[in-house]
Amino acid sequence: MKRNVIVGQSGGPTAVINSSLAGVYNTAIERGAKKVYGMRHGIQGLMKGDYVDLSKYIKNDLDSEILKRTPAAFLGSCRYKLPEIHEDKAVYDKIFALLNELDIEAFIYIGGNDSMDTIKKLSDYALLTGSDIKFVGCPKTIDNDLALTDHTPGYGSAAKYIGTSVKEIIRDAASQEYAHGIATVVEIMGRDAGWLAGSACLAEGEDCDGPDAIYLPELPFDMDLFMKKVKKALDNKGYTVIAVSEGVRTTDGKYVCEGEAGTGFVDAFGHKQLTGTANYLCQVLASKFGCKTRAIELSTLQRAASHLASRIDVIEAAQIGGASVKAADEGTSGVMVVFERESNDPYQCHTAVKDVHKIANEERLVPRKWINKEGTYVTDEFRTYVEPLIQGDLWPIMVGGIPRHLFMK
Ligand code: F6P
């Protein structure tokens, strides 16, 4: 590399998004970039001229190691949708003027399907205007719903946290004794895709039966079947633990959480904030069966739990960050780097690049055949798919018994 690199983070954070940032930084320096800039709060911050020189924060190998194990977006995230080029060319002129001023050679954006829309538009504009800046997407999302990649960094660690937490919740529930039993509903993120909810199956093993049902957003939520399942479990063993995606909808397309005051806030991409599914379902169960209930929303914890990160995930996140810089350095633009799985046992994966136009704004859902016929659990294929992604541990660097983080004031 002969000039400079700029990198941004966008969308919902993950436990390993900063590992990708470290991968981008280290690879850019190794390949000869003079400076590596970080956009503060993604493209939204950049448009206001808000960026930093990353060498001021990543001063040595220890900083880089701490960064890899720090959850949430070190640079700050955003959920910002660029206008279509024909709608507001001035916005693009302004961004490119700044990129030229900073002598940028490669623009790397770490994000999910909405963030890939930014790479798509900026690379289109570069083509249109003959700019030689390379725009490359680096995938990230706990939702695991990006098209054309086997999986996304962030998913493995979130899945490991969900499987572990659901198992601990089951252990707790099974030890309780209540006259009418106890029903626990665990609400898991992933608005349209059930990759995260499905990972609740990881709780199941020789020492645990797993949740009594798992509801994914890919299929309509059948309230009658749900009630029957809960009743059967309460009658047979006095407790039940059920995993539900935050995005489950009834047959009329209404979010189950809309039965509560669960939605209100809507982001720039038109996504409603989903919350309250578990609460709503618990209220219904308590009034029908008189049982004790517990609504557990894993919420932010599932994407910020770097103390339970998957080693594979942390390592792959750094690798794909590096691969994004390499792709740009080799002259590729308008692409996202993807994972292609070679085998499950031993687990082997390599990276490749794919046209971002086929990825931006698309969603990859759990295949129907990976969900059981009744729509209440995932199949063995799902488990075989997710298991390699949660392997190994990489502890945070602990100081005074608490993880140490790298952060920007
Ligand atoms: O896109 C990732 C994600 O974590 C989704 O699973 C979830 O619906 C959403 O972000 C939550 O976003 P926010 O933190 O903006 O409420």
Strands 104-111, 4-9: parallel, antiparallel or unpaired by DSSP? parallel
Instruction: Give the CATH number of the domain where residue 398 resides.
Output: 3.40.50.450
Which pLDDT belongs to residue 4? 98
Q: How far is the centre of ligand 1, averaged over its atoms, from the C-alpha of 129 (Å)?
A: 35
Out of 18-27, 36-45, 260-269, least confident range = 260-269
Span 65-78, pLDDT tens digits: 999 999 999 999 99
374 in any annotated domain = no
Instruction: Give the CATH number of the domain where residue 260 resides.
Output: 3.40.50.460
Could you tell me if 163 and 295 lie in one domain?
yes
Residues of the chain above pLDDT 90, percent: 92
84 in any annotated domain = yes
407 in any annotated domain = no
Q: How far is the centre of ligand 1, averaged over its atoms, from the C-alpha of 320 (Å)?
A: 22
Average pLDDT estimate for 127-143: 98
Average pLDDT estimate for 310-326: 98
Which pLDDT belongs to residue 276? 87
Strands 182-188, 292-297: parallel, antiparallel or unpaired by DSSP? parallel
Question: Residue 103 catalytic?
Answer: no
Which pLDDT belongs to residue 272? 65
57 in any annotated domain = yes
**Final residue of a domain: which of 257, 284, 304?**
304
Which pLDDT band holds residue 260 (cuts at 50, 70, 90)?
low
pLDDT at 241 over 90: yes
User: What are the angstrom distances between the C-alpha of 287 and each of 233, 278, 293, 350?
Assistant: 17, 14, 10, 51
Could you tell me if 122 and 73 lie in one domain?
yes
Could you tell me if 33 and 114 lie in one domain?
yes
Q: Which residues span the domain enclosing 284? A: 156-304
Residues of the chain above pLDDT 70, percent: 96
377 in any annotated domain = no
Task: Judge if the beta carbon of residue 142 lies within 6 A of ligand 1.
Answer: yes
Could you tell me if 143 and 190 lie in one domain?
no
**H or E element that contains 280:** helix 277-289
**DSSP codes of every residue in 282-347:** HHHHHHHH--EEEEEE-TTHHHH-GGG-BHHHHHHHHHHHHHHHHHHHTT--SEEEEEEEEEETTE
375 in any annotated domain = no
Number of domains making up the chain: 2
pLDDT at 247 over 70: yes
- Given a contact cutoff of 8 angstroms between Cβ atoms, the answer to whether 174 and 282 are in contact is no
- Given a contact cutoff of 8 angstroms between Cβ atoms, the answer to whether 244 and 237 are in contact is no
Could you tell me if 219 and 325 lie in one domain?
no
Span 69-104, pLDDT tens digits: 999 999 999 999 999 999 999 999 999 999 999 999
Tokens at 31, concatenated: 């390949």
User: Mapping DSSP to helix (H, G, I), strand (E, B) and coil, where does residue 244 land?
Assistant: strand
Could you tell me if 317 and 231 lie in one domain?
no
Average pLDDT along the chain: 95
**Which atom from ligand 1 is nearest to the alpha carbon of 265?**
16
Could you tell me if 348 and 265 lie in one domain?
no
**221/242 Cα distance (integer angstroms):** 13
Q: How far is the centre of ligand 1, averaged over its atoms, from the C-alpha of 369 (Å)?
A: 26
Average pLDDT estimate for 3-18: 98
Could you tell me if 262 and 198 lie in one domain?
yes
Which pLDDT belongs to residue 266? 63
What's this model's pTM, rounded to 2 decimal places?
A: 0.96
Span 196-209, pLDDT tens digits: 999 999 999 999 99
Could you tell me if 109 and 226 lie in one domain?
no
165 in any annotated domain = yes
Task: Judge if the beta carbon of residue 191 lies within 6 A of ligand 1.
Answer: yes
Could you tell me if 214 and 283 lie in one domain?
yes
pLDDT at 384 over 70: yes
Could you tell me if 77 and 137 lie in one domain?
yes
Task: Judge if the beta carbon of residue 13 lies within 6 A of ligand 1.
Answer: no
**Which atom from ligand 1 is nearest to the alpha carbon of 303?**
4
283 in any annotated domain = yes
Could you tell me if 175 and 317 lie in one domain?
no
Distance of CA 51 to the CA centre of its chain: 24
Task: Judge if the beta carbon of residue 143 lies within 6 A of ligand 1.
Answer: yes
Span 330-368, pLDDT tens digits: 999 999 999 999 999 999 999 999 999 999 999 999 999
Q: How far is the centre of ligand 1, averaged over its atoms, from the C-alpha of 189 (Å)?
A: 7
